[in-house]
């Protein structure tokens, strides 16, 4: 049986959320670069309070892959830091060929995708070329 709380008994402090490996790594990288949470959020296109919630554990264990990539962008993460951030959030690292600038062009990727039917491939290529070539 638990003891009754009286007016003289202070309330127990709320439990701190558990910080994930991702949260710890984000904080470590951010502090090592001497940049504020607000600046990282701004650079990564994230909400102002998002990074604070990530670092304290209030956002939960696993951010979306897109959020990890946005945080990495905001941190101006190196390739190794990006890989570590993805792993710490439970995602596989990006393909090194993509990171090393040897990525396929959009057209090459469409042509190489074995899951696309030929008519879909032609349609996508036509749409891409129209959008690409349209003056802004």
Q: Which pLDDT value is given to residue 38?
A: 93
CA distance 76 to 15: 33
CATH number for the domain that contains residue 85: 1.10.260.40
Does residue 35 sit in the same domain as residue 71? Answer: yes
Does residue 32 sit in the same domain as residue 93? Answer: yes
List the structure tokens of 28: 């470590």
CA distance 62 to 64: 7
Q: Which pLDDT value is given to residue 98?
A: 56
* Residue 66: exposure state from Cβ atoms within 10 A (0-12, 13-18, ≥19): exposed
Does residue 83 sit in the same domain as residue 108? Answer: no
Does residue 67 sit in the same domain as residue 39? Answer: yes
Does residue 127 sit in the same domain as residue 83? Answer: no
Instruction: Tell me how crowded residue 29 is: count the other CB atoms within 10 A of its CB.
Output: 20
Least confident of 7-21, 23-37, 52-66, 120-134: 7-21
> In terms of residue numbers, what domain contains 79?
21-97
Flag whether 13 is in a domain. Answer: no
Flag whether 15 is in a domain. Answer: no
Number of domains in the chain: 2
Q: Which pLDDT value is given to residue 4?
A: 64
Does residue 91 sit in the same domain as residue 53? Answer: yes
Does residue 92 sit in the same domain as residue 32? Answer: yes
- Does the pTM of the predicted model rise above 0.75? no
Q: Which pLDDT value is given to residue 100?
A: 56
CA distance 119 to 121: 5
Q: Which pLDDT value is given to residue 87?
A: 92
List the structure tokens of 106: 């959009």
Flag whether 9 is in a domain. Answer: no
Flag whether 6 is in a domain. Answer: no
Does residue 39 sit in the same domain as residue 85? Answer: yes
């Amino acid at each position: 049986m638990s003891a009754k709380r009286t007016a003289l008994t202070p309330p127990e402090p709320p439990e701190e959320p558990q910080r994930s490996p991702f949260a710890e790594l984000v904080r470590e990288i951010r502090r090592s670069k001497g940049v504020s949470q607000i600046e990282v959020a701004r650079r990564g296109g994230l909400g102002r309070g998002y990074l604070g919630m990530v670092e304290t554990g209030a956002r939960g264990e696993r951010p979306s892959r897109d959020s990890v990539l946005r945080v990495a962008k905001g941190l101006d993460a190196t390739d190794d830091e990006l890989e570590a951030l993805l792993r710490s959030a439970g995602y596989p690292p990006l393909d090194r060929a993509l990171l090393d600038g040897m990525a396929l062009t959009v057209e090459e990727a469409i042509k190489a995708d074995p899951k696309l039917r030929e008519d879909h491939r032609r349609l996508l290529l036509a749409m891409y070329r129209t959008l690409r070539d349209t003056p802004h």
